[in-house]
Chains A and B, each alone.
Chain A
């Protein structure tokens, strides 16, 4: 009897009936998705079964903010960027300053190519940090992976990380079995990540099965840290107090390359291609996925009329010291690279090093009551 009803009431819904209502939406996906595009993509799926509805769900559920343009779509696996390129290509172009489908991305993790970066004034630069993400080839991404896949990523990652030695020797703390003491220490170190609460992540299915197969690995020196199975398979962070970005970046590059070697040996290298660079869950993190930044005291410069202009020209962005979406406290800002794709890791960290050095000099000038107009750079 059920089958009879299934036949009688079954319909093939036309595009108009399935197409999401996006008139009040302000995110990249909503700006780009047309009915024709949806019609073309709705019958496709990636080899792991990810559909266009899965891709856009987070953007449909989160109309966005009038001032901040969110991306509004995610990848469920490496193939998503290919199967749904009609949607991802224009979103990537909008988000990444006109990056074209034919453009090639440069990867350069040779820390020796970075010039300077070891002489940022520690009276101003309080701490330095570089982070990126990595996805393990052959596994679906956090919006779509099953428990088995997530656990396999964890297992492989922990194996790789535990084989590191020297300054990289460290330990893994799985979220579901850490002791209270371990948890408190990780919070005190500002290392612990929590179950996502942002509706942007929840609507994309990234918090499923929490805290299964999630954890934090860090070295004994607490200068190299890896998050497993949060918003990406891996988030890799190198950081230390003070302004020696050169050292932070060296550790970052060396650590990443060592981890990558181990994954490659298991035939599960990192997801990467010459057009998109490193493949991550959110299109905003494609390319290098790198955010290199400092916490820097700029109380005078930050109130200068040209502060925003200077940042834009230097290809930098500011955030509060609590991270994205926070305000600055006491004139201390988080300054980092604005770009992710189309320039290499070395290029982007170079921007940060050169830009912050210049801004500290500007701050010093302003302290002496001098003008900084002649120092304002041309657009990079």
Chain B
């Protein structure tokens, strides 16, 4: 039966064929998967018992290493997703990168949507640790992209230099960057660029493929701080995300340069809304509008985003599950930054600070990147409101310090609302 299918399929796409197969299509789907990736289950070669394969994690400090016991490894090492993604592939980045004593990395990635299910015994405790105790078995994640609910999202521009919201989206049915083939990656590009071509009004824009951009275009994108480069971080390269670079990678942005999409970097898509100044409300409005428009356009063509009610939007790294949202500002806080209560205030406001070069950079002068800590268990609206309320509080503190008045450490705000 498999042979008959391979003959039918040898020269053309099978999407229409599956509808002919009808009731047996579940079987057909798996047979086709087996034809495309010969012996997906065979990828899991088991010459040795699990104990001989178990990685040496004694010097490791990442979430994967904390939760991958020999028992969990033994239970999961024979499994593979329908695409053939295995546990060893999921954890490779964490095995190869023992981690930092101060910063605990995640140490594992998903190769496809099914990874989170097939390897739930490991992903669930990692998700719980990374996302403040969120229990993906029992809890549901709220999704809310109604920007009209935002209150007072316009900041004092004597302090806030710029505002930005980013997230990621994955195209259901196609493997994620650690595992995708060249054809799948190109399909992601095609689907997304096709959809983006349908955006209108302030969202009208164009696509710059990394393989085809001119030197001039490249320079302009660098000047706009839009261009992303081949990953050099071993966290990403060990997870196989830089394979075939720069094939099917690119950047789309609208003409006003306020809405930007990265294609096939660490996720299928990264969606960014940003502008100079303090109008976070408008940035978030554009963010929600753009996301909904893109979703509408891909749904029209028969596609959808990876999403489920427990994990929210499904992305490559477990740290980005839920909203995948980081909303932040570049803000000048010369007096606050010297106050010893600053870290505690940020913590209680559920905010984090980074340098203005992004994660892993130091602050320049006293300008910081301030953004939400949390990703999963609260909606987009809730997280952006948290950032707005927090930044307003920080500005109030800065103003009070300017006048020689004292400031208060606010009580910690509750997490899962």
List residues of chain A with CB under 8 Å of any chain B CB: 2-3, 5-14, 17-21, 43-45, 48-49, 51, 53, 57, 60-61, 146-149, 151-152, 176, 202-203, 207-210, 212
Contacts and interface: CB of A to CB of B under 8 A. Distances in A.
Nearest to B92: A208
A45 B39 contact: yes
A61 B244 CA distance: 5
Interface string B228-267: 0000000001100011110100000000000000000000
Interface string B36-52: 10110011010110001
Contacts, number: 122
B122 to A, nearest CB: 17
B39 A6 contact: no
Given A6-B29, A8-B302, A202-B237, A207 B15 contact: no
Interface of B: 9, 11-15, 18, 25-26, 28-29, 32-33, 35-36, 38-39, 42-43, 45, 47-48, 52-56, 82, 88, 92, 95-96, 113-114, 117, 172-174, 181-184, 186-187, 211, 237-238, 242-245, 247, 302-304
Contacts of B54: 147
Contact of A152 (B12, B26, B48, B187): B48
B38 A44 contact: yes
Given A6-B29, A21-B244, A53-B181, 18 more contacts: A6-B33, A6-B173, A12-B12, A13-B13, A13-B36, A13-B181, A14-B12, A17-B183, A19-B182, A43-B35, A49-B39, A57-B243, A57-B244, A60-B243, A61-B245, A148-B48, A208-B96, A208-B238
29 contacts: A5-B172, A5-B173, A6-B173, A9-B172, A9-B303, A10-B29, A10-B173, A12-B32, A13-B13, A13-B183, A13-B184, A13-B187, A14-B13, A17-B187, A19-B182, A20-B244, A44-B38, A49-B43, A57-B243, A57-B244, A61-B243, A61-B245, A146-B88, A148-B48, A149-B47, A202-B237, A203-B243, A208-B92, A208-B96
A293 B313 CA distance: 58
Contacts of B237: 202
Given A2-B114, A14-B11, A49-B45, A8 B96 contact: no
A178 B38 CA distance: 42
A5 to B, nearest CB: 5
Given A10-B32, A17-B186, A210 B38 contact: no
A14 B187 CA distance: 12
A159 to B, nearest CB: 16
A45 B92 CA distance: 22
Contacts of A49: 39, 42-43, 45
Contacts of B211: 21
A48 B38 CA distance: 12
A137 B95 CA distance: 27
A200 to B, nearest CB: 13
B32 A146 contact: no
A325 B33 CA distance: 44
A225 B303 CA distance: 58
A155 to B, nearest CB: 10
Contact of B26 (A7, A19, A151, A209): A7
Contacts of B242: 61
B381 to A, nearest CB: 26
B242 to A, nearest CB: 7
Nearest to B302: A8
Given A17-B186, A45-B38, A202-B237, A10 B18 contact: yes
B13 A8 contact: no
